[in-house]
Amino acid sequence: QGCAQKYIVKNYFYYYLFKFSAALGEEIFYITFLPFTYWNIDHSVSRRMIIIWSIVMYIGQVSKDILKWPRPLSPPVVKLEMRTDAEYGMPSTHAMAATAISFSFLIATMNQYKYPFELGLVAAFVFSTLVCLSRLYTGMHTVLDVIGGALISAVLLVLLYPAWDVIDHLLLTSPFCPLLSIVVPLVLCYNYPKLDYYSPTRGDTTTILGAGAGATVGFWLNNQYAAPAFTSEDFQLGFPLITSKIVVVVLARFFIGIFVILLTRQLMKSVVLGMLGYRYKFPIGDLEARRRLEVEVPYKFITYSSVGFSATVIVPLLHKLLGLM
Q: What is the per-residue pLDDT for 17?
A: 85
The domain spans of the chain are: 12-228+238-322
What CA dihedral angle connects 136, 142, 71 and 92, to 10 degrees? 80
**79 contacts: CB under 8 Å, gap ≥ 6:** 4, 5, 71, 72, 85, 138, 139, 140
Q: What is the per-residue pLDDT for 171?
A: 87
Q: How far apart are CA 14 and CA 136, in angstroms?
A: 12
Contact 79, 139 (CB under 8 A): yes
Highest mean pLDDT among 13-22, 33-42, 95-104, 222-231: 95-104
Q: Count the Cβ atoms, other than its own, within 10 Å of residue 238.
A: 11
Q: What is the per-residue pLDDT for 67?
A: 85
Q: What pTM, to 2 d.p., does this model score?
A: 0.83
Q: How far apart are CA 325 and CA 302, in angstroms?
A: 28
Task: Catalogue the active-site residues.
Answer: 94, 141
Q: Predicted confidence band at 33 (pLDDT cuts at 50, 70, 90)?
A: confident
Q: What is the per-residue pLDDT for 233?
A: 44
Average the pLDDT over 201-220 and give the result: 91
Greatest alpha-carbon span in the chain: 58
Q: How far apart are CA 46 and CA 259, in angstroms?
A: 19
Over 80: is that where the pLDDT of 100 sits? Answer: yes
48: closest CA among 172, 142, 151?
172
Q: How far apart are CA 107 and CA 297, in angstroms?
A: 33
Over 50: is that where the pLDDT of 116 sits? Answer: yes
Contact 11, 132 (CB under 8 A): no
Q: How far apart are CA 95 and CA 24, in angstroms?
A: 10
Q: How far apart are CA 9 and CA 140, in angstroms?
A: 17
Q: What is the per-residue pLDDT for 305?
A: 94
Helix (H) or strand (E) holding 169: helix 164-173
DSSP, residue by residue, 166-218 = HHHHHHHH-TTHHHHHHHHHHHHHHTPPP-SS--THHHHHHHHHHHHHHHHHH
Alpha helix ranges (H) inside the chain = 12-23, 27-40, 43-67, 93-109, 117-137, 143-160, 164-173, 177-190, 201-224, 244-280, 287-290, 293-309, 315-321
Q: What is the per-residue pLDDT for 197?
A: 79
183: closest CA among 191, 173, 195, 193?
191
Write the pLDDT tens digit of every residue in 245-294: 778 888 888 999 999 999 999 999 999 988 988 888 888 878 888 888 88
Q: How far apart are CA 270 and CA 67, in angstroms?
A: 35
